Amino acid sequence: MAFLLRRVGFYVAAFIVAATFNFLIPRLMPGSPVDIMFAQAGGTLPPEALAALKQTFGFIDQPWPVQFVAYLKSVFTWDLGLSVKFHPLTVNEVLWRALPWTLMLVLISSLIAFAIGSLAGILAAWRRGGSFDSIGAPIALMMQAMPPLVTSLLALFLFAIYWPVFPTGYAYDPEIDPGFSLEFFCSVFKHAFLPIVTMALAQVGGYLITMRNSMINLLGEDYIVLGTAKGLSDRRLRMAYAARNALLPTVTSFAMTLGASFGGALVTEVVFNYPGLGYTLFQGITARDYPLIQGQLLIMTLAMLTANFIADVLYVALDPRLRKG
């Protein structure tokens, strides 16, 4: 429990640092930050909305520390200001509308990659130097070097343009009413298929390598030799003895990779015109919608911290040593 509480304290600190970046970056830029931030906004927002926006970001007639407190107050009451591009929606509304799509892509693709990658890693390590290992490991390595940008473009071109099996955009067919119908789910599945596969491909190699290396290191331990000597079955030794312990480093890397795969989702969504956070953000960048760009950093940080916290909980469940004290 103490371990988890300490982690929560750390996550709050990390979140404040992310907010501090948001506060400092516009103020440290040469020129007047208010002008940079709101030059674009002035064109679309009415004057009173502009005044409210300045208030939210702490641009008040006070010294910096007071401004900072004002900004933190907005952040912790989850007031992220108004979007310039999607006026009259607030940043909050824009981001929450897009987030579920991104979460779906990230979670499903990560779980698929984790399951396939870890299993393949276990097999590769078990027969190290065997045919699966000497083919699988280099392929995994090559896949790691494939940027998500390239795999997405390739998948889009091959399976949506050259052989138009899958759609080139949107999260579901606009002619179908969203709701709990089979037709709608099929449409969502069809639209999400390519993004999920490309995102999973980008991660699977990493899990394979992490699991393989961690497993190989464990297979040399004395308790494995003892297990073999006791005559335990290969399967039991592999899964319950070696893989169970080798899984620990992968859980940490799962949390870390989740952050990277949020980044990967940004690119994949832009390529597939998929209406998640990445695509929304891309529209925000093109319109220089600064409140939106700042808001995404906070929401991405929050997602990352949540993923890390879940990994912590899993870690406690998997490693009994952490449960004491």
Partner 1 sequence: MRGLLKILLANRKAAIGAAIVAFFILVALAAPLVAPFDINQRVASPHEAPSAEHVMGATRMGRDVLSQTIHGTQTSLIVGFAAGLLVTILGTAIGVTAGYFGGKVDEVLNLFTNISLVIPNLPLMLVLAAFIGQTGPFVIALIIGLTSWGWGARVTRAQTLSLRQRDYILAAEMLGEPAWRIITFELLPNLISIIGFNFIGSVLYAVITEATLEFLGLGDPMVVSWGTMLYHAQSTSALQVGAWWEMAAPCLALVIFGSGLSLINFAVDEIANPRLRTLRVPAKVLAALTNRTTNQGGRA
| Shortest distance, position 178 Cβ to partner 1, whole Å | 26
| Residue (of 2, 5, 6, 18) closest to 303 by Cα position | 18
Q: What angle do CA 261, 264, 269 make, to 5 degrees?
A: 120
As a residue count, the chain comes to 325
Pairwise CA distance, residues 284 & 139, whole Å: 37
Among 1, 2, 5, 145, binds partner 1 (CB under 8 A): 145
Cβ(190)–Cβ(244) under 8 Å?
A: no
| Alpha helices (H) along the chain | 2-28, 33-44, 47-56, 64-76, 91-126, 131-145, 148-156, 182-219, 222-230, 234-236, 244-272, 277-286, 290-318
Among 237, 246, 308, 312, binds partner 1 (CB under 8 A): 308
For partner 1, the closer of residues 99 and 216 by Cβ is 216
Query: Which 98-137 positions form the footprint of partner 1 (CB under 8 A)?
Result: 128-129, 133-134, 137
For partner 1, the closer of residues 146 and 176 by Cβ is 146
| Shortest distance, position 235 Cβ to partner 1, whole Å | 22
Q: What mask of x and - would describe binding to partner 1 in positions 54 to 93, judged by CB under 8 A?
A: ----------------------------------------
| Shortest distance, position 239 Cβ to partner 1, whole Å | 20
| Shortest distance, position 174 Cβ to partner 1, whole Å | 18
Q: Is 34 in the site for partner 1 (CB under 8 A)?
A: no
Among 4, 10, 92, 193, binds partner 1 (CB under 8 A): 10
Residues whose CB is less than 8 angstroms from the CB of residue 53 and which lie 6 or more positions away in sequence, other chains included: 38, 41, 45, 81, 82, 291
| Alpha helices (H) along 146-241 | 148-156, 182-219, 222-230, 234-236
Q: Is 263 in the site for partner 1 (CB under 8 A)?
A: yes
Q: Is 239 in the site for partner 1 (CB under 8 A)?
A: no
End-to-end CA distance of the chain: 7
For partner 1, the closer of residues 5 and 145 by Cβ is 145
| Residue (of 90, 82, 78) closest to 51 by Cα position | 82
Which residues of the chain form contacts with partner 1 (CB under 8 A)? 10-11, 13-14, 17-18, 21-22, 25-26, 29, 36, 128-129, 133-134, 137-138, 141-142, 144-147, 149-150, 153-154, 156-157, 161, 168, 212-213, 216-217, 220, 256, 259-260, 262-263, 266-267, 270-271, 281-282, 285-286, 288, 290, 293-294, 296-297, 300-301, 303-305, 308
